[in-house]
Amino acid sequence: MIDNDIDQRVRLAAFDWLSNQIKVHGDVLPRTVLEKGFEFEGKRVPLIGPQGIFKPQVIPEIPLSITTVPSGPYDDSFSEDNFLLYRYRGTDPHHRDNAGLRRAMFKGTPLIYLHGVVPGKYLAIWPVFIVGDYPDKLTFKVSVDDLSYVKSKEPYAGAQIISEDASESRRAYITSTVRQRLHQHGFRERALHAYRQQCACCRLRHQELLDAAHIIPDIDPAGVPEVRNGIALCKLHHAAFDSYFLAIRPDYIVEVRKDIMEEEDGPMLMHGLKGIHHNKIVLPTSRHLLPDPILLERRYADFRKFI
C-alpha cells in the first residue's frame, strides 16, 4: 500500500530545505549540495541522482525531481505557449521513470525542477507539475506554479498538499517568468565560468560582487544571451560600463572616458577607474567564448558619442 502521508511530508520538507539552501548558497546550487540532500526521520533524502528523473528511496512511487543538464539552446526547452518541455527517459513510454511522471500528472503531485546552468550547478524551481503527456514526441509538458498555491494542513504530520486555482493561463504566466530567470542565471553562470570567476577589468574574485554584463543589451535583437555577448565584471565596472564611463574596444583594451580621467575624486576613482585605463581585459581561454569584436565595435561607437 502506498504511503501518501510519507510522500507528502517528504516533498514539503524538500521545499523547505531548498529555501534554506538558497539563503546559504544563492539561487544557483552546487550539485554536491543536492546530492547530499537532507535527513528525514533518520533517512537521507538526496534531490538529484545519475538519471534526470529521480526518486529517492524514502518516497514510495512518484519521482521527487526532474533535471536537465546545461547543454543545447535555451529556447529548445520551452513550448510556444510558454510551458516547459521535458523529454522522456529513453524511448519507452512505459519505462518506470516515465510511468512515475505520468502518475504525478494524474495525481497533481508537485515536483522539483533542477535546471543545469553550467556543469555542476543548478537552478532549483518548485513546485512544478506535469500537465501534459505526448508519447508520440516522447515529451511531457511541465508548468511552474507559485508556492503559495501549494498549501498544507498540519505540516509534516499527515499533510495534504493541495494545488488551488491551477488555471492554465496563470501557470503559463508563472512559467514564462521562470523562463526569464533561467535565461538570466544561465547567462551569468556561463559568463563567470568562461572568465574563471573574476572581473575582466580588475580580477576581483568574490562571486557575490560579480555580474555578467551584456555588450549589447538583451532588449536589443542582437543582445543574445551568449558568452560572446557578455563580459564578467564586478559591480563597479559593470555600472561604469553600462553608464559609458568606460568602454572595451574591439582589441580588448579598456578606455576610460576623457572627462572621467580629468576628474579628481578620491582613491576609488583613481584606482577603480583611472587605474584600468588602457589595460587589456582578462579573456576566456576558449577562442569561441571571446567577446565578439563586432559587438564591441558597435558598443564602442555608442561610447564615442559621449566623448
Q: How many CA atoms lie within 13 A of 261 on its CB side?
A: 11
Cα distances (angstroms) measured from residue 89 to each of 53, 96, 133: 7, 9, 13
pTM for the model? 0.72
Pairing between strand 111-118 and 121-134? Answer: antiparallel
Q: What is the pLDDT of residue 149?
A: 61
How many Å apart are CA 133 and CA 138, to the nearest integer? Answer: 8
Q: What angle do CA 298, 303, 307 make, to 5 degrees?
A: 140
How many Å apart are CA 71 and CA 190, to the nearest integer? Answer: 11
Q: Which residues contact 157 (CB under 8 A, 6 or more apart)?
A: 9
Q: What is the pLDDT of residue 183?
A: 73
Q: What is the pLDDT of residues 34-85, one digit of tens each?
A: 999 999 999 999 999 998 999 999 998 899 999 988 764 334 477 677 788 8
Q: What is the pLDDT of residues 220-250, one digit of tens each?
A: 888 888 899 999 999 999 999 999 999 999 9
Q: Which residues contact 136 (CB under 8 A, 6 or more apart)?
A: none
Q: What is the pLDDT of residues 276-299, one digit of tens each?
A: 999 999 999 999 999 999 999 999
Q: What is the pLDDT of residue 231?
A: 97
Q: What is the DSSP letter of 62?
A: S
- Residue position matching grid coordinates 523562463: 179
Per-residue pLDDT at 154 exceeds 70: no
Domain ranges of the chain: 4-190, 197-304
Q: What is the pLDDT of residues 85-122, one digit of tens each?
A: 899 998 898 999 999 999 999 998 999 999 888 888 99
Which set of grid coordinates corresponds to residue 162? 493541495
How would DSSP label each residue in 68-94?
Answer: E-S-S-GGGGB-TTS-EEEEPSSS-TT
- Number of neighbouring beta carbons within 10 Å of residue 120: 13
